Amino acid sequence: MAEVVICELLCYVQHYIDKCPKENIVSSVSSFYTVSEVEAAKAVMADIVGDTEAARRRAGSGKRKLDVEDILSMYESHDKTGATAMPTFAETPPGGQSVGGRRLCAGCERHGPPVPDAESDGGHHKAG
C-alpha cells in the first residue's frame, strides 16, 4: 500500500495538478493557505523528493507564491522521474478523528498541532 501523508495543501495540489493550469493552482494555494502552512508543505515535499536545495527558504515580497511554485516544481519533477511512488496526500479527517500512524504535515494552523495517537506512533490534529 502506498504511503499516506496528511497534508491538506498537498492533497489539493495532487488533486488539481493534472486538471488546472499551474498559474491557477499557484494563485489559489498562495491566497488561501498561510505562509507557515505553505512552508510546512514545502518541507514535506522536499523530504519526499530528497531535495534539500528545493527546501531553501524564500524571503521578501512574493515569498508565498514562490514557495508554492517550488512545491509544484518538486511535485512535477518527482512525478516525471518516477523513481519512487508519490505518496497519497489526504486531508485531516473531520472532527479530529485518529489517523493512526500516518505522517502529518507539521505547522497546520487550521487544525492545530499533531497530537500523539495512543494506538500508534503517529498522530492526529486536535479538532479546533
Residue 35: count of CB within 10 angstroms of its CB? 14
Q: Which tens digits make up the pLDDT trace of 108-128?
A: 444 444 444 434 334 333 333
Residue 53 falls inside a structural domain:
yes
Judge contact between 6 and 104, C-beta under 8 A.
Answer: yes
Judge contact between 21 and 69, C-beta under 8 A.
Answer: no
Residue 44 falls inside a structural domain:
yes
Residue 35 falls inside a structural domain:
yes
Residue 128 falls inside a structural domain:
no
* Structural domain for 57, as ranges: 12-86
Residue 10 has pLDDT above 80, yes or no: yes
Residue 118 falls inside a structural domain:
no
The C-alpha cell that represents 2 in the structure block: 502506498
Looking at the structure of the chain, the number of domains it has is 1
Residue 124 falls inside a structural domain:
no
Residue 112 falls inside a structural domain:
no
Q: Which tens digits make up the pLDDT trace of 54-98?
A: 667 777 788 889 999 999 998 988 877 766 778 889 887 655 444
Burial grade of 118 (CB within 10 A; 0-12, 13-18, 19 or more): exposed
